[in-house]
């Protein structure tokens, strides 16, 4: 049980603000979050909309809070109207990027292949990818959750050099739990997170797999965070709705306290 060795995997709590918060609202929310999470012994990441990233980096400077983007393109530059390159994110001080969120897979035609290209580019350029995997309700009911998630994990991390694999953050987000108020039970979350770790061990060996943080996401909130975070293979949370309120988000960051 690696919870007994917290140095192995520092918990990581990230807020995915999705398409919420204008720049003005985002700055206010960050201002509220900063004092509430001061001194937290976990990695804290906020992922606001693209238009708020530069301001978020400035506001969080020196606070220990990191800033992540919600997406990026894999090409270094060129004629890709509306897209954002890794260099553009790095230039303004962004350190993390969510890749392959189920909403992007469902609404913006992301595939295991595009997810993989983005993961490789993030790692090559020193950004921390937060790689999302998770099954649909139909897949769960058909008993395929473990298979789907294992396959998505392997596909997302294809050709990742073993030497860089421990910089990846995985996020298990069952689609049926996202924005629905239906959280996976702590046992279900831990079971699939364990499948993710076993897949990582198969890909990179268990020593590396044991160092990768695996988040849970899907209706995680201030009430259920303690129980989820107590699971041996839940090393963090990717929070949607509850990350939009400073009081709720900070309670999750301070889980167990």
Q: How far is the CB of 245 from ligand 13P (least distance, A)?
A: 12
Q: Quick one: angle between helices 246-253 and 23-36, nearest 10? A: 40
The answer to whether the beta carbons of residues 225 and 237 sit under 8 Å apart is yes
Q: What one-character DSSP code corresponds to residue 111?
A: -
Residue ranges that bind ligand 13P, judged by CB under 6 A: 16, 101, 173, 178-179, 217-220, 238-242
Residue with Cβ nearer ligand 13P (70 or 231): 70
Q: How far apart are CA 222 and CA 250, in angstroms?
A: 8
Q: How far is the CB of 61 from ligand 13P (least distance, A)?
A: 25
Q: Which of 2, 25, 10 is nearest to 246 (CA)?
A: 25
The answer to whether the beta carbons of residues 247 and 36 sit under 8 Å apart is yes
Q: How far is the CB of 216 from ligand 13P (least distance, A)?
A: 9
Q: How far apart are CA 46 and CA 51, in angstroms?
A: 13
Burial readout 218-257 (b: 16 or more C-beta within 10 A, e: otherwise): bbbbbebbebbbebebbbbbbbbbbbbbbebbbbbbbbee
Q: How far is the CB of 96 from ligand 13P (least distance, A)?
A: 13
Q: How far is the CB of 92 from ligand 13P (least distance, A)?
A: 22
Residue with Cβ nearer ligand 13P (2 or 136): 136
Residue with Cβ nearer ligand 13P (9 or 104): 104
Residue with Cβ nearer ligand 13P (43 or 173): 173
Residue with Cβ nearer ligand 13P (49 or 219): 219
Decide: residue 24, CB within 10 A, 0-12 exposed, 13-18 middle, 19+ buried: exposed
Angle at CA of residue 129, ends 145 and 116, nearest 5°: 65
Q: How far apart are CA 134 and CA 32, in angstroms?
A: 31
Distances (CA, A) of 165 to 47, 75, 91, 122, 197: 22, 21, 23, 12, 12
Catalytic annotation, residues: 101, 173
Residue with Cβ nearer ligand 13P (204 or 221): 221
Measured from the Cβ of residue 163, the count of other Cβ atoms closer than 10 Å reads 10
Q: How far is the CB of 244 from ligand 13P (least distance, A)?
A: 9
């Amino acid at each position: 049980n690696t919870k007994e060795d917290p140095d192995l995997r520092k918990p990581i709590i990230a807020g995915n603000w999705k398409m919420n918060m204008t720049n003005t609202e985002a700055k206010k929310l960050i201002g509220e979050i900063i004092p509430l999470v001061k001194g937290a012994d976990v990695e804290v990441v906020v992922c606001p909309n693209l238009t708020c990233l530069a301001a978020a980096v400035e506001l969080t400077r020196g606070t220990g809070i990191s800033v992540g983007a919600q997406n990026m393109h894999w090409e270094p530059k060129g004629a890709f109207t509306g897209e954002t390159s890794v260099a553009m994110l790095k230039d303004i001080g962004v350190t993390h990027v969510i890749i392959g969120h189920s909403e992007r897979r469902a609404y913006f035609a992301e595939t295991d292949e595009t997810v993989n290209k983005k993961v490789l580019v993030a790692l090559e350029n020193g950004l921390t990818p937060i790689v999302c995997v998770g099954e649909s309700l139909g897949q769960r009911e058909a008993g395929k959750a473990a298979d789907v998630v294992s396959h998505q994990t392997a596909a997302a991390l294809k050709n990742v050099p073993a030497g860089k694999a421990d910089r990846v953050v995985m996020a298990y987000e069952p689609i049926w739990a996202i924005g629905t108020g239906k959280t996976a039970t702590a046992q279900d979350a831990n079971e699939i997170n364990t499948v993710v770790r076993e897949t990582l061990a198969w890909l990179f060996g268990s020593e590396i797999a044991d160092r990768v943080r695996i988040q849970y996401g899907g209706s995680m909130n201030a009430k259920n965070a303690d129980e989820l975070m107590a699971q041996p293979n839940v090393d963090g949370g990717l929070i949607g709705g509850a990350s939009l309120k400073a009081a709720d988000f900070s309670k999750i960051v301070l889980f167990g306290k």
